[in-house]
A and B are shown apart, each in its own frame.
Chain A
């Protein structure tokens, strides 16, 4: 067994951001989302993720802003802790240990020092019985505080945080579960319960799904399973309560929210339509349709100017109060399963898989951001459960990324499958894929596998699809057929092959594209792509072939296959004989496209092992036991942007490409080495966040760069650290009002100079670091907001110095003029910045 101390399996990207309601800070600048084991902070203006609040050891189940301090936030987690964060700087302030798994957290301004959490107190007795508990947070200076002062408020509440809401600034709390609405009024210390009948005459289901309380009025809005919204009033009496019903949604209302002034009620559901009801004039409603996917949560910013809806496709939409979509924060869409395999787009180097219904998503792994969705089906998606619609089931790229083939499928009850094979050509002008050919019903039954011929020298591109109807078809781009100039070449069927009416399962082209291997149950047939002759058959009875893979580069003479009876076979195509075989239960076999390496995921005793090997060598290059629990069925080798220079034998296979895989729970994982982690740490240290300005790439480019503390670290990352003088010069240039600046031709050379790396003696640099350290220190102790003017006397001479050294062409008078201009009025500008 090879030693592999420095290779780790880590989560990478694709985090879920729609698990809980997004929380908006009081200034509407940041958005906090519970995402896996951390809380993500997004900027609402740029949609960039600013930082992750990491610390919880289990799923984060809720986030709220601390009512008494709007710069701090509580988060609760299933690990039984509530943590207090400074979300602007991303610092953990305190940890309160509750001791029981927490399902949601609530707080109101009128309850100072108390948070309400939903937890199961009697975990051992009835785990499904949840309670709403008031937790008195002890005041103490320690980092880790044990909160023991718990008092139950309501018993038997729903685990869904949307089913609990505070009303009128914390005067009462409403909770719904099943068919029961419970209102607890703090002043009276009394709970009122209201019940609905199980089923009304029309067969609608009355179960409560969500609750929202009017901020000013005694009114509770509840959403129901059958799409109705009930507005409850007079609920502080047992008998004379009333309710009115609003009905627009055709299926369950998943979220309700009042605007801060209480003038409007927002509701959403599976229909993916945001409905805005006017309070007290409920017949006036406005709609925002086609938001993309079912609405799971709705949130409103404290000033009421922005609405936030989170959707089931891992997306948060930012909507202006005039019901206009302004932006969207989109995460990796992970449906119930990945029907298309994981693929790499050769052009954008992005991960491609099926995303929201009928779309292919292009996801950048480096930036953890969805690049775009390609609409494959091009049909209006009807948001209704139980409707059979077209799904993208297969996709394939050719070697250069010019062609994309997709298969969409619609299963109908009692009818045959509807299939469409679509071929997309990359358009250089629009930088996206354009539909070239649609082949309806390419096969009579479902398509089992599809692959492009990966040879680069071949003029004609070829696609092979195998189907359950017992045939495989080769599709080719016929260039000669088009007669007119405006008619682009299209794809047509070139060959239909079959073998003893067996069902083909997988297909694979050899590295040079001259051979095609198609597995028909337990037989592998090898065909010549030039003449479509059956060259040879290879078989390894008695079980069907599950995976088929040609070796690459020097190992291209090998064909590897895995069979159902736990056998990994390697055939040599020169001798047409079995080279070696080994017994292991391989669930997935894949080849690295840029090296000879192959990876095999094997299932063993409930977890998955990974072996990386070369077909020509008997010893595996790398192996790791128990990579993750469960079966790994999807994985991909992604080429790296820059090569790693690891010389250790065990991690060399990660030098040029990176292996990503999806676990059973749809988590995207990858393998990292120590070198890589060090590099990541180094780059993340440079970023310092100014709390007044949203952190954007532009800001990072221009903002202050912290000097590296140690000399050696600096020498490694020297090329990435722009000189402080340069950035200061730019900052000065940008802060000066545009109408008082001299003409651009003067500034241009100065600007360009400031971007260049000039050779400076270490003494001067020392001074610079000292200055930086100083300003840092100042920043750190700035609990009270610091005036930007106070730092200016230090910075201004520095900037002047830079300007002088950088632009000798400027005359003295001009420099003086520039300085005067700079001094003129900056205060108002700074004030603007600070506001």
Chain B
């Protein structure tokens, strides 16, 4: 006697994102720690030396946070106005920050009072950075100039006046102490050599430049401005390499992760996107609550720090290996696991006589009803609220099974107002789903056939039927529109693609559908 075969629930392919190695990697972070700052967070900079504290510039302060503390370990408050661009020197001892009041202040990380003040700019200074030797400071300001300062005697070394708009970003080369690059709202990126008085290279980004990033090898430069992220090859004289347009608002910040393997971009559209730096495809996406102004990534991706316009600083720490293992273990272990396993791992001795117990087959509720041929009850159980809402595929599978048994009509018939309402509700929710449509359309037709005579007797059912009608009319309109678009596309493709250049094998490898025409258009080679 064969046992009852349960109803097969069709597994539909998931339409969402695929689980890749990257998604696993970037999801392996703890819940974010959220810290409220006084104003919009404009800059986040990680100290290059362990323990990798990070400086957060927000409103009139620069806070330094330790890697795991929720309170700032240090705060610099001696700014008269909004501070900008607090950055560490490569030894992590000094910190420089610009200010709205055009002053540039240099702090010792251990002290409180500014060590040096650099005066000279006439407008707000948004860019500050140390050169690679650590003795000079680069600043860029809204007065269209960028300047080099000598730290020991706090004097201005050089001024460059080539930009024609605000300078809002800049980087210094880590390999050459004389090279630095600035980006401005005049859409250009300029590379300067401190040994010369003018720029050595100019690149046109096409949009106001918001952020710049040099690869560790310094052969490639990444710029962000407008909705675009562009990569430039410096070794080929500033030739544009890639232009990425994955955000739908201005990209504000860039960062490199995983030792230069991944590029992160943050935008006002509240997303952080992770790109693969070999093919520049988006491999992961983070969502945040507000527009993002600044982004920082600790070495080895230990933490992701994001500053937002609403003054919230979000710090995500990576899970330690034990933690990530533990969570997966917890998922596997159900509360009653021990009870289940009790006695099951007992190995019988050699001379033991084994009395086998018949394995009880567990059946779902609807299967139990189907086994007893209670078709109406089976449909009722499959229409229970949580199944209907959460797992419509189960309901559809039961309906399909009833149809296969030829008893769907019996199951649908003889329902009262309440259950008919439920049934129609389910249909309205799922009828236009392309996965379920073939099954549910026949069901809907059957329901209309069966209950035609009672239309007009119950206002509740009538209302549902009208909704169903509306839904169908809308769907038909959509389909018509889609067909029109398809027709238009077809004509466009047909006119744009020259017939002879159809690569027969090339396309067919990519996806198996719709290439039949390509091969049929090939001339018949030879007939014997």
Contacts and interface: CB of A to CB of B under 8 A. Distances in A.
Contact of A532 (B3, B10, B370, B508): B508
B196 interface: no
Contacts of A289: 1
A440 interface: yes
Contact of B512 (A291, A384, A492): A492
Nearest to A380: B5
A317 B19 CA distance: 49
Interface stretch (B304-312, B493-501, B514-522): B514-522
Given A292-B2, A471-B516, A534-B519, A576 B526 contact: yes
B8 A537 contact: no
A179 interface: no
Contacts of A496: 508, 512-516
Interface in B342-360: none
Interface in B293-335: none
Contacts of B504: 532-533
B512 A387 contact: no
A537 B527 contact: yes
A389 B505 contact: no
Given A291-B1, A379-B404, A473-B512, A498 B520 contact: yes
Contact of B505 (A379, A410, A532): A532
A307 interface: no
Contacts of B526: 536-537, 576
A289 B373 CA distance: 13
B161 to A, nearest CB: 53
B4 A578 contact: no
A493 B512 contact: yes
B457 interface: no
A325 interface: yes
A697 B370 CA distance: 43
B507 to A, nearest CB: 10
B1 A536 contact: no
A290 B504 CA distance: 52
A498 B516 contact: yes
Contacts of B442: 415
B520 A537 contact: no
B527 A538 contact: yes
A804 B337 CA distance: 60
B1 A288 contact: yes
Of A380, A473, A496, A535, most buried by chain B (CB within 10 Å of CB) is A380
A501 B520 CA distance: 8
A497 interface: yes
A382 interface: yes
A539 B405 contact: no
Contacts of B20: 483
Interface string B435-455: 000000010000000000000
A577 interface: yes
A364 to B, nearest CB: 21
A531 B7 CA distance: 42
Interface string A360-385: 00000000000000010011101010
A532 B516 CA distance: 12
A613 interface: no
Contact of B405 (A292, A387, A470): A387
Contacts of B4: 290, 380
Contact of B525 (A384, A534, A577): A534
Contacts, number: 96
A746 interface: no
A279 interface: no
A323 to B, nearest CB: 9
Interface string B19-60: 111000000000000000000000000000000000000000
A500 interface: yes
B520 A500 contact: yes
Interface in A379-413: 379-380, 382, 384, 387-389, 410
A668 to B, nearest CB: 26
B516 A531 contact: no
Contacts of A288: 1
A653 B125 CA distance: 95
A538 B528 contact: yes
User: Interface majority SS on B: helix, strand, loop or mixed?
Assistant: loop
Contacts of B508: 495-496, 532
A495 B512 contact: yes
A172 interface: no
Contact of B520 (A290, A380, A499): A499
Contact of A382 (B405, B505, B509): B405
A384 B527 contact: no
B505 A483 contact: no
A389 B401 CA distance: 11
A100 B146 CA distance: 120
Nearest to B18: A483
A577 B528 contact: yes
Interface in A422-441: 440
B406 interface: yes
B404 A536 contact: no
A483 B21 contact: yes
B516 A536 contact: no
A539 B509 CA distance: 28
B8 A378 contact: yes
Nearest to A532: B505
Contacts of B8: 378-379
A537 B2 contact: no
Given A291-B1, A440-B10, A497-B516, A534 B522 contact: yes
Given A471-B516, A536-B526, A290 B505 contact: no
A289 B517 CA distance: 52
A494 interface: yes
Nearest to A473: B512
A530 B282 CA distance: 32
Given A389-B404, A497-B516, A538-B528, A483 B19 contact: yes
A499 B525 contact: no
B512 A494 contact: yes
A536 B525 contact: yes
B512 A290 contact: no
B524 interface: yes
A388 B403 CA distance: 10
Interface in A123-166: none
Of B1, B7, B514, B515, most buried by chain A (CB within 10 Å of CB) is B1
Contacts of B509: 494-495
B1 A325 contact: yes
A388 B405 CA distance: 8
Nearest to B517: A498
Contacts of B516: 470-471, 496-498
Contacts of A495: 508-509, 512, 515
A289 B372 CA distance: 11
A379 B19 contact: no
7 shortest interchain CB distances as A-B pairs:
A493-B512, A498-B516, A380-B5, A325-B1, A531-B505, A290-B2, A495-B508
Given A389-B404, A497-B519, A578-B528, 15 more contacts: A289-B1, A291-B1, A292-B2, A380-B5, A382-B406, A473-B512, A495-B512, A496-B508, A496-B516, A497-B515, A498-B517, A498-B519, A501-B520, A534-B522, A535-B525
27 contacts: A288-B1, A289-B1, A290-B1, A290-B2, A291-B1, A325-B1, A375-B5, A379-B8, A379-B401, A382-B406, A387-B405, A387-B406, A389-B404, A440-B10, A473-B512, A483-B20, A483-B21, A492-B512, A495-B515, A496-B513, A498-B520, A499-B519, A533-B504, A534-B519, A534-B522, A539-B528, A576-B526
